[in-house]
Structure 1
Amino acid sequence: MTAEWSVREADLQALAFPATLPGLEASDREMADSASGDTAASEAVRLHLDNVVPALESLRAQSGRLSAWGVELAQRLLRGQRLLAAGNGGSAAEAQHLTAELVGRFDGERVPFSAISLHADTSAVTALANDYGYEQVFARQVRAHGRSGDVLLLLSTSGQSPNLLRAVEAAGRLNVTTWALTGPGPNPLATACDEAVMVDALNANAQEGHLIALHAICRAFDLEVRRPSAGVQAGPAQSEWGAPWES
């Protein structure tokens, strides 16, 4: 991250409303407070938007890996394998965004592909957390759903979530390929996975970068699916629909 765009979270927290100004009537002070509050809010928004730039620059530098992931994911899912995805909090929402794009569609009409968000089954998650502890909620589902050749994609801005690290361990025993989308590295999750894209930005901006990364993967995925020879060795994904891409 360049010094020009480096703005720490502490800088955002330092934007505070000034104390009441001497010599002003109560109504004048209220107006001054309101105006300074508007200025502080505007500055906080500007700083946040400025900090999107490092996230984009970080992703651009790793665009080759994102495109490779999209191509490889398409090839595997065309053969009938599946994607498993997981995250916590906002990262869970982004993992679910990706699986929705694959089961549904991204741009053009095409066959559905098998993709499961491990956090989305609330009964399973709460039962597993209750019976085995929250660190095992994803690992046990990987053991249940994962098959050799599947892909497990894990999202985390910190790269330190214990339940994601346990999921990587479970995937390794099943020959499930592991990919991580994280915030700045190095971090334990990126190190544990087979491959990782680390977004060098503040946490909130890194998480915004993750959505851009997922859409970039989908671009490469759909392009690969659309290739004329892509479905030649296709598996169950095409058994019902025929060609993988439908215009």
Structure 2
Amino acid sequence: MLDPIERVKEMQKILESMAADTEWAEAVKVAASLCVSSLKAGGKVLFCGNGGSAADAQHLAAELTGRFLYDRPPLYGEALHCNTSALTAVGNDYGYDRVFERQIQAKGKAGDVLIGLSTSGNSGNVVKALEAARDQMMKTISLVGSRACLMAELADVCIAIPSDQTPRIQEGHILSGHTLCEIIEAEMFPRETV
């Protein structure tokens, strides 16, 4: 039987690597700065991903529209897969690779931010979303794993988790996303004691 402690030890190694990685920390800070600049200007933070990455996208969007650590006004965060009618209509009429691209074309404007999540970094529909976001003059952020990927090339900021295993990458994504949300909340609504 699998020893659960071994999984904790695997993640501990990844966390130690992230803690020593100044590039990871800087990427999170720069990503947060892009989001804060957009939100202060009345912009939006849009998210997209598939499967577990969609769940993480939805989770992080909710941290912005709801609250993260403390009560404060809501921030515009939206996970693009949540409108199932739009998702299935575009998927049916244009193909699944375009389900996020079309929504970016409809909703995105210059200065908004798109955060794409993918453990492979090569999900076709997220790649097309990033391309569309760049065409719309949006800022782009990718959360990926350690492998070379298209999403890293398309992002203004790439937050890479030092793993090639899907579950460990997703665990790193949620830590990165929570850190991002905490910085955004503190910058948008500073308080003396956090």
Residue aligned with 1:215, SS: helix
Who is 1:48 aligned against?
7
CA distance in 1, matches of 2:105, 2:82: 16
**Amino acid across the alignment from 1:59:** M
CA distance in 2, matches of 1:99, 1:221: 12
CA RMSD of aligned residues (A): 1.8
Question: Does structure 2 retain, via aligned residues, the 8 Å contact 1:55–1:206?
Answer: no
Structure 2 stretches lacking a partner, 5+ long: none
**Amino acid across the alignment from 2:42:** G
CA distance in 1, matches of 2:133, 2:97: 14
Residue aligned with 2:117, SS: strand
Of the three residues 174, 189, 210, the one matched with 2:151 is 189
Cα-to-partner distance string for 1:53-97 (whole Å, 9 max, x where unaligned)? 233134321112212322331232122000110000000000011
TM-score (structure 1 length as normaliser): 0.72
**Amino acid across the alignment from 2:149:** N
Of the three residues 48, 51, 54, the one matched with 1:89 is 51
Residue aligned with 2:2, SS: helix
Structure 1 stretches lacking a partner, 5+ long: 1-39, 229-247
Of the three residues 39, 57, 66, the one matched with 2:16 is 57
CA distance in 1, matches of 2:177, 2:34: 14
Question: Does structure 2 retain, via aligned residues, the 8 Å contact 1:135–1:163?
Answer: yes
Does 2:68 match 1:109?
A: no
Who is 2:185 aligned against?
222
Residue aligned with 1:138, SS: helix
Per-residue deviation at 1:192?
A: 1.8
**Amino acid across the alignment from 1:93:** A
Residues matched between the structures, number: 189
CA distance in 2, matches of 1:82, 1:73: 8
Matches within 5 A, 1:1-247: 40-42=1-3, 45-60=4-19, 61=21, 62-201=24-163, 202-227=165-190
Who is 1:9 aligned against?
none
Question: Does structure 2 retain, via aligned residues, the 8 Å contact 1:180–1:189?
Answer: yes
**Amino acid across the alignment from 1:156:** S
Question: Does structure 1 retain, via aligned residues, the 8 Å contact 2:30–2:157?
Answer: no
Question: Does structure 2 retain, via aligned residues, the 8 Å contact 1:181–1:198?
Answer: yes
**Amino acid across the alignment from 1:132:** Y
CA distance in 1, matches of 2:7, 2:15: 13
**Amino acid across the alignment from 2:173:** H
Give the stretch that moved more between structures: 219-228 or 206-215: 219-228
CA distance in 2, matches of 1:147, 1:104: 23
Identical pairs, percent: 37
User: Rg larger in 1 or in 2?
Assistant: 1
TM-score (structure 2 length as normaliser): 0.91
Cα-to-partner distance string for 1:132-155 (whole Å, 9 max, x where unaligned)? 000000000000100000000000
Residue aligned with 1:178, SS: strand
Question: Does structure 1 retain, via aligned residues, the 8 Å contact 2:31–2:157?
Answer: no
